[in-house]
Chain A
Amino acid sequence: MSDNKSKTSELSRRGFIKVGAAALTAASMPMFFVKDAWAAKDFRNNPGTAGSVKFGFNVPQSGAYADEGADELRAYKLAVEHINGVGDGGMLNTMKPLSLKGNGILGKKVEFVTGDTQTKSDAARASAKRMIEKDGVIMVTGGSSSGVAVAVQGLCQEMGIIFMAGLTHSNDTTGKDKRRYGFRHFFNAYMSGAALGPVLKKEMGTERKAYHLTADYTWGWTQEESIKNTTEGLGWKTTATVKTPVGAGDFSQYITPVLNSGADVLILNHYGKDMINSLTQAVQFGLRDKQVNGKNFEIIVPLFSRLMAQGAGENIKGILGTTNWNWALEDEGSKAFVKSFGAKYGQPPSMAAHTTYVQALLYANACEAAGSFYPPEVIKQLEGFKFDGMGNGPTEYRAEDHQCFKDVLVVRGNDKPTSQFDLLKVEQVVPRSQVEYDAKIFGGELGPYEV
């Protein structure tokens, strides 16, 4: 006992600070294991003890993509209902693993505000800023353009608010412009190229000459590059790559040079209205009835959507492309979502509706799993998150670039639609392994967790 006493008396002087530090550390240890332990740490738009939390749906409500925006908004409203425990639950019945309990997020009801991106980067940023600063949203989501996604993502990183991107297909969104606070569920141009490659080889062979018409902005450039790399990898030659202004309307002056260029494939790196117009006009110029180099002339539209197919009408029939998701898929998640959406709105959801619905659910689920709305904790939950039952098979939010990796659909404009919605036929479900790539190839830095 006396030995012990003398030892204690020696330590009390020399080790006072050490003991104090150890005691503090020990006292703080439970913080790492207790839910909401970080709640004490303040962050922008922290809901604190409020009974509700607000999402910001930033979608194009006017301009060329207003129809896509309207469908995104329908999906978001459905997602909010399901998160709050209203309705049949949709994909919450099929999502695995699931932390949400159908009573909001961490017991707080979800509310929302909407903004109009107008499909313009500056308008989208202003709208997101207003939602963050004035409406106090905890998360911003939506959009139907890569230009918008990159702009809003940058803003959200600066303001410490998580951005769950909507419809954006440029490699840059999760490549050179990726951000720690930005997440994309939608697939990208690289994946479209990788998915299309084998199908093109099988259908059109290895000796083709391709002519690209490309929308002159970030998405068009990256898609052209990805598809060109794929087709040249097959042995195809690239006759020309021509940039066209966004919203050109009449593309005839760009199509006439195709006629005697020697090319036997036209690749339209256009989306939305531009794609509808360029495809309609290419068909009017008789390109699909043409024979060049002893082969049938072919048109490819690497990125398709049902809403675009509607606008292109008859001209889309037989044209190959890729899509992120289609309402006719037979998996349980897709069926549950289509059933909920169809019952509420009388029409099946578009791929824009699907990706935005899934994004809202994924964010909510990550908060529930993290036990907090504190963005760095939610980000860590989403990074590397593996899930299933949401319409695309087993999916992973890759931690390195915040890009979702999942199966990609190769589709063809349906020759014999059985209904007004049956415009795209799924030709092939390309497995995730075929469209995967090293995150380093597109560069970029995610940036810090704490901002």
Chain B
Amino acid sequence: MDAIFLQILNGLDKGGAYALIALGLTLVFGTLGVVNFAHGALFMLGAFCAVTLQKILTISQKVRDESITFFEAYKEQPYLEIWFGDFGTKIIDWSVPISILLAIPIMLLIGLAMERGLIRHFYKRPHADQILVTFGLAIVLQEIIRSFFGANPIPTPAPDIVAGSAQIGVLLGLGESVVYPWWRIIYLLFSGLVIFLVFAFLQFTTFGMVVRAGMHDRETVGLLGIDVEHKFTIVFGIGAVVAGLAGVMYAPILPPDYHMGMDFLVLSFVVVVVGGMGSLGGAVAAGFLLGLLQSFASMNEIKAILPGIDQIIIYLVAVVIILVRPRGLMGRKGVMED
């Protein structure tokens, strides 16, 4: 029972990340009709917002390290600690949550620049061209990050206060072995909040209403005198912010490196396809479903019966769903069918 509970929690937590990334991807696809292979790179850039802020906050005074005599080495003490003492240390400790504030405007700007500067020139081009150009862009972005930050993962820890794990087993009357990292619980709640905010924004604001209308029938909305293209550019920016926030919050879970976007890219496309192209609800549902399946498939009891199932489960489910429901779980008729 404890094991199953832990895997459910793990699946939801994984699903939260998948849903968040797929949500931005499907938002862009549903509005602009663009298959954005650079979406994983946006996730990675979000994580590097956290890394960058951490680097800025830990800009240090270099003092000759006398313990190393073979060559000139330097010890580093962050200026923040020199100037503000313990308060400075606290600010550095909280760099990941603080970087959310940095990531929102930066990711919005990156999203807008990407859409205006490059992607809008490909709206009328075939999907293959869109895939090629966005994939190329993703490679360029990740190589830029590699040249600045190197190839190795960079530890970006969560604040000390949430670095450990929560004794949820004791709280819920389960065994003592049921513990779960605080930060992952926060991530799950955070992804739920962001998903809720995106849906609320689309559902309860005039802007959202126009966007939804545009997703259904772009031409008619345009004929009503609404500048749909302008609205969709902002939607692209919002998609970038959602991916970026998913990346920022993921940094303490997975030390960021330049390649992390590519690792999530294929997975997030599978989530979108399983959920149904262009369906926001489908993306969220598929994200959680695949997260749970992947988690359960990794249990030793399951692997004993079906060795290697943990590595193929997502793709296996995708094949089955596409065979049974070719438009995905919640796909609409006419999307990607021209």
B-contacting residues of A (Cβ < 8 Å)? 62-67, 240, 242, 245, 247, 249-250, 252-254, 256-257, 259-261, 273, 276-277, 280-281, 284-286, 289-290, 307, 310-315, 335, 338-339, 341-343, 346-348, 418-422
Tell me, in angstroms, the Cα distance from A286 to B3 when the chains sit together.
16
Ordered by A's residue number, 8 sampled pairs between the chains whose C-beta atoms are within 8 Å are A250-B254, A253-B7, A273-B257, A290-B179, A314-B155, A347-B73, A348-B68, A421-B68
List, in ascending order, chain A residues with CB within 8 A of B159's CB. none
B94 an interface residue at 8 Å Cβ cutoff?
no
B255 an interface residue at 8 Å Cβ cutoff?
yes
Which residues 231-277 in B have Cβ within 8 Å of A in the complex? 252-255, 257, 259-260, 263-264
| A249 touching B151, Cβ below 8 Å | no
| B255 touching A253, Cβ below 8 Å | no
B298 an interface residue at 8 Å Cβ cutoff?
yes
- A337, chain B: closest CB distance, angstroms: 9
| B71 touching A280, Cβ below 8 Å | no
Tell me, in angstroms, the Cα distance from A310 to B153 when the chains sit together.
9
B37 an interface residue at 8 Å Cβ cutoff?
no
| B151 touching A67, Cβ below 8 Å | yes
Tell me, in angstroms, the Cα distance from A307 to B257 when the chains sit together.
14
Which residues 1-31 in B have Cβ within 8 Å of A in the complex? 2-3, 6-7, 9-11, 13-14, 17
Given the known inter-chain contacts A253-B7, A280-B155, A280-B255, please indicate yes or no for A259 contacting B183, CB distance below 8 A. Answer: no
| A259 touching B6, Cβ below 8 Å | yes
| A253 touching B10, Cβ below 8 Å | yes
| B157 touching A313, Cβ below 8 Å | yes
| A284 touching B310, Cβ below 8 Å | no
Task: Look across to chain B and name the residue whose beta carbon is closest to the beta carbon of A338.
Answer: B70
| A65 touching B151, Cβ below 8 Å | yes
Contact of B165 among A260, A276, A284 (CB under 8 A): A284
Task: Look across to chain B and name the residue whose beta carbon is closest to the beta carbon of A418.
Answer: B67
List, in ascending order, chain A residues with CB within 8 A of B257's CB. 64, 273
Tell me, in angstroms, the Cα distance from A354 to B184 when the chains sit together.
39
| B153 touching A311, Cβ below 8 Å | yes
| A419 touching B70, Cβ below 8 Å | no
| B255 touching A276, Cβ below 8 Å | yes
B216 an interface residue at 8 Å Cβ cutoff?
no
List, in ascending order, chain A residues with CB within 8 A of B175's CB. 260
Tell me, in angstroms, the Cα distance from A254 to B259 when the chains sit together.
22
Please give 17 more A-B residue pairs, beta carbons under 8 A apart, in addition to A338-B70, A422-B67.
A62-B146, A249-B254, A250-B253, A252-B184, A256-B7, A257-B298, A260-B3, A260-B6, A261-B300, A277-B254, A280-B255, A284-B181, A286-B179, A311-B255, A335-B70, A342-B68, A348-B71
- B163, chain A: closest CB distance, angstroms: 7
| B253 touching A259, Cβ below 8 Å | no
The bracket for how many chain B residues form the interface is 35 or more
- A426, chain B: closest CB distance, angstroms: 15
B178 an interface residue at 8 Å Cβ cutoff?
yes
| A284 touching B179, Cβ below 8 Å | no
A-contacting residues of B (Cβ < 8 Å)? 2-3, 6-7, 9-11, 13-14, 17, 65, 67-68, 70-73, 75-76, 146, 150-155, 157, 163-165, 175, 177-181, 183-184, 252-255, 257, 259-260, 263-264, 294-295, 298-300, 303, 310-311
The 8 closest A-B pairs by CB, nearest first: A342-B71, A313-B155, A66-B151, A286-B165, A253-B298, A260-B177, A284-B181, A256-B6
Tell me, in angstroms, the Cα distance from A400 to B260 when the chains sit together.
43
List, in ascending order, chain A residues with CB within 8 A of B179's CB. 259, 285-286, 290
Counting chain A CB atoms within 10 Å of each CB, which of B152, B183, B310 scores highest?
A: B152
| A307 touching B152, Cβ below 8 Å | yes
- A264, chain B: closest CB distance, angstroms: 12
List, in ascending order, chain B residues with CB within 8 A of A281's CB. 181, 253
List, in ascending order, chain B residues with CB within 8 A of A247's CB. 263
Given the known inter-chain contacts A242-B303, A335-B70, please indicate yes or no for A67 contacting B152, CB distance below 8 A. Answer: yes
| A419 touching B14, Cβ below 8 Å | no
| A286 touching B152, Cβ below 8 Å | no
| B300 touching A242, Cβ below 8 Å | yes
| A285 touching B180, Cβ below 8 Å | yes
List, in ascending order, chain B residues with CB within 8 A of A62's CB. 146, 151
| A284 touching B183, Cβ below 8 Å | yes
Contact of A260 among B2, B9, B155, B254 (CB under 8 A): B2
Counting chain B CB atoms within 10 Å of each CB, which of A257, A341, A346 scores highest?
A: A257
Task: Look across to chain A and name the residue whose beta carbon is closest to the beta carbon of B298.
Answer: A253
List, in ascending order, chain B residues with CB within 8 A of A260's CB. 2-3, 6, 175, 177-178
List, in ascending order, chain A residues with CB within 8 A of B70's CB. 335, 338-339, 342-343, 348
Given the known inter-chain contacts A253-B295, A339-B71, please indicate yes or no for A286 contacting B7, CB distance below 8 A. Answer: no
List, in ascending order, chain B residues with CB within 8 A of A310's CB. 152
| A289 touching B164, Cβ below 8 Å | yes
Tell me, in angstroms, the Cα distance from A268 to B258 when the chains sit together.
24
List, in ascending order, chain B residues with CB within 8 A of A249's CB. 254, 260, 263-264
List, in ascending order, chain B residues with CB within 8 A of A311's CB. 152-155, 255
Tell me, in angstroms, the Cα distance from A250 to B73 when the chains sit together.
35
| A346 touching B2, Cβ below 8 Å | no
Given the known inter-chain contacts A252-B13, A311-B255, please indicate yes or no for A419 contacting B65, CB distance below 8 A. Answer: yes
Given the known inter-chain contacts A250-B14, A253-B14, A285-B165, please indicate yes or no for A277 contacting B153, CB distance below 8 A. Answer: yes
List, in ascending order, chain B residues with CB within 8 A of A250's CB. 14, 17, 253-254
Task: Look across to chain B and name the residue whose beta carbon is closest to the beta carbon of A312.
Answer: B155
Tell me, in angstroms, the Cα distance from A351 to B9 when the chains sit together.
40
Tell me, in angstroms, the Cα distance from A367 to B195 when the chains sit together.
66
- A305, chain B: closest CB distance, angstroms: 10
List, in ascending order, chain B residues with CB within 8 A of A419's CB. 65, 67-68, 73, 75
| B155 touching A256, Cβ below 8 Å | no
Tell me, in angstroms, the Cα distance from A253 to B299 when the chains sit together.
8
List, in ascending order, chain B residues with CB within 8 A of A335's CB. 70
Tell me, in angstroms, the Cα distance from A280 to B256 when the chains sit together.
12
Tell me, in angstroms, the Cα distance from A343 to B175 when the chains sit together.
56
